Amino acid sequence: MPNTPGIWKKEHVEAWKPIVDGVHNNGGMFFCQLWHSGRVSNTSYQPDGRSPISSTDKPISAQLFIGGSGGEDVQYLPPHRLTTDEISQVVNDFRIAARNAIEASFDGVEIHGANGYLIDQFMKDQVNDRTDRYGDILENRCRFPLEIVEAISNEIGSQRVGMRLSSFADYNESGDSDPHSLGIFMDESLSRLGIAYCHVIEPRMVTQFQKGETRNTLVSMRKAFAGTFIVAGGYHDRDEANRVVENGDADLVAFGRAFLANPDLPRRFRLKARLNKYDRSTFYTDDPIVGYSDYPFLDY
């Protein structure tokens, strides 16, 4: 994918080190999110013009601009369906990336198993049409993500591992017919592997741009997971987040849009100060400043 930073070679490790040091020097903790776009890509972004990889050879039907908030449409072509041997190679790629993250002094890694990217493409039955040991039944569809979690945990320690899930969502045409069972199975499995946290997108966030009303909740997933349970999706308000934690529905609430637009969000919450409004049109641009580091801090 264009404009996506990596951590798969030595140069990436060295480039990340001063950034990680800057976070630590300011009292922060820093986890590196590891992800693979899978079929949410195009041959023009792949080595030697090869096809993107996935659990399937079915392409995404919608044609959207991949690179961000502007530009020409890019066609999603049929991906390459990974063989079992190739799946093992990808698992090892994640393991190496996790090792590199620790070498760069990250405190841990978050495995991105959400939003319709590669790992999600294996878990969701709307996408995964395999008939081998990585497809069909729920346990098989979850085999690939759990192999990644286990490989990374063995490499850097499970206490340094988190995972992001979006069982109820249909991001990038990756939906599932039984998201409750999928979510519970994954959280029970992740608990047995002893990872530090699970970071789950609320069911109300059907897509990244669409917040809807639903009776679905994350309560069953929260009960199935023994570690720290983080919820995200559609949170803009301090009081709403506090109620979720006070009710026992989550240990932590993650803020995305609000944090992007408010680099001092914790301070604003403490002071109950006004929040900057975010500009959605700049969310996915490759500009290093506009929409990324140009939102103002509080002036008092």
User: Can you give the chain as a three-state secondary structure string?
Assistant: CCCCCCCCCHHHHHHHHHHHHHHHHCCCCCEEEECCCCCCCCHHHCHHHCCCEECCCCCCCCCCCCCCCCCCCCCCCCCEECCHHHHHHHHHHHHHHHHHHHHCCCCEEEEEECCCCHHHHHHCCCCCCCCCCCCCCHHHHCHHHHHHHHHHHHHHCHHHEEEEECCCCCHHHCCCCCHHHHHHHHHHHHHHHCCCEEEEECCCEEECCEECCCCCCCHHHHHHCCCEEEEECCCCCHHHHHHHHHCCCCCEEECCHHHHHCCCHHHHHHHCCCCCCCCHHHCCCCCCCCCCCCCCCCCC
Annotated active-site residue 117? The verdict is yes
Catalytic residue among 76, 117, 134, 171: 117
Catalytic residues: 117
